Structure 1
């Protein structure tokens, strides 16, 4: 059987930082939800053979195969790897902001583990990919990052990331936010581009995205996410 489909884990940060915005602007989580709906709609309408999973982190629930009392908490696999369908679309529409801390590195590990479990022993997969949606506002632990990156490479799992169009804290930060390997883009995966806009009834939706300076945490998070994307050749 020819390898002609992708196993794609959609990993979404629903933590507090993703829902914070000024009145009159769309929150990062709302923008993310719109982009996800667009991706799923396209997969369905094109009758794509690709399979998708939806994983949320930063919420109240924990539902993943790696979780115990102290690890991989507040991370939930809400849609197991399968072809895009209306059930997945509805799960995306039901996404609500969470109030709990969750580690984005842990979320990537859960996603990679899910892809491994769901594709192991099966044929037809041309690629396995984790697509991360976050504004990098929540602190996380990267002490095991090298081991995790080695594992991702061994499993041929790539990581891409999408974030809202962050503002610039200083003039010299502008180039970093426009780099092709920034989490605001996905290095060539056009259908998942953060600049794409979902449409409703044929009318293009323009997001009202609040531009504000990056926090030190976001700068650190973006740098580490870029390292993950580049190392896995996402």
Structure 2
């Protein structure tokens, strides 16, 4: 079953047409990678899917229902949740309070508590720092908190934007170990990542983007050896694209 269907989507980032007539499909239970360097359109696409950017053309359907005109908060309630890049946390709130923000609007306190216990099992570092101000966490721990807060919203599909950006290898390994297990928790994943090796180590399929268009799509095994990856990162003449 197709959880997410994007058809002929075009969207601006500021004055730049950053996504151009792009289409993709994500099936239930998949981890799908969006690969490409800076300026490929990955973040703009995720923002358009979750409603933070209004596309100029095209459509987005989630769970078989059109959501192109749906406000962002309603998309979250439907189970479409973004974990943004940039470690966007509430720095003057504790880890506990940040996690509760992810469950905002959920009236069942017992459900919230069970969800939090599950997430802290996945991220034991956050449990160790439960009462600590989020702004005092390391960069990797803040990235864990961004992802954990998104999981508190009980997503059906989680949009992950550059979860490994700027992280030490050990913390990256911890985060990707969690990502790999998300489909076992019933969570589908659309993963935007510059590190193609990392992304394809957990994804079943992927799309290679450059300048807002899809250069190639295929299985992870196919894309691992595809020259389009080099083109997406280096450009046609070996220069940064």
TM band (smaller chain)? 0.3 to 0.5
Q: Which has the higher helix share?
A: 2
Q: TM-score, with normalisation over the residues of structure 2?
A: 0.35
Q: Which has the higher strand share?
A: 2
Q: TM-score, with normalisation over the residues of structure 1?
A: 0.35
